Each structure stands twice: as structure tokens, then as C-alpha cells.
Amino acid sequence: MAIVHGFCAVLVMVQPGFRVLTSGHLAAFANVAATAATILIIRKIGQLESRCVMLAVISAGILLVALPGAALTWKAMTGFQIGTAAVAGTLVISAQFAALESLRCALVTAVAPMQ
């Protein structure tokens, strides 16, 4: 149901018939499917696995997906950029941890609209 709801939301946003579909639209469809699948999986295994394991698996998945693009466009970073990236990474991991905890504990109808 979450996948269907997300797909309908993307259709409303994209308004097919008014514009030519582009790779950006396809990326939005892929994002909806991936997000819905992630929420469903987390809800299913959330009571069985620890938060740390789930967070590690999500972080490893993001790293594996982002690594090829980073390798192709890598430039040396300044100290300020490294510090900024460290702060941003800490915030993202904290947000993921909070999202995992909310998906484990709260009703899905209360949490899913925030995703």
C-alpha cells in the first residue's frame, strides 16, 4: 500500500501529460519505490534487529551506491570541507538513527508521512 501511495504522490507531482518525462522523473519514481521498500523492510525486521545493525547496513548500502560516483569526481578537500563533511555525516547518521527508532516504535501512519 505504501508503494502505491508513494507512486500516486509522484504522479501528482510530475503531472504526466503536461511535460515530457525525463531522467529526473524516473529518479523520482525510483526514489519512491526504494523509500517505500526500505520502510516496509524496517517495519518488518525492526523488532528483531538492533538499531545499530540496521544503521550499519543502511550506511554501508549508501556507501556502496555513492562510491563509484565519488571515485569518478574526487577532488582533494580542504580542512574546512573535511570538517563540514564530518558535521554533515554526524547529522545524517543521527537523523537515520532517529528515523529507525521512530519506525520501530511508532505507528507507521504517524511516521511514514515524514519520510
Confidence of residue 114 (pLDDT cuts 50, 70, 90): low
78: left (phi over 0), alpha (psi -120 to 50) or beta: beta
Residue 99 is predicted with a pLDDT of 79
| 82-98 tens-digit pLDDT | 999 999 989 988 888 88
Position 7 pLDDT exceeds 90 = no
Dihedral, CA atoms, 13, 15, 19, 22, nearest 10 degrees?
Answer: 50
CB 43 within 8 A of CB 2: no
| 26-79 tens-digit pLDDT | 888 788 788 778 777 777 777 787 778 887 887 888 889 888 988 888 888 999
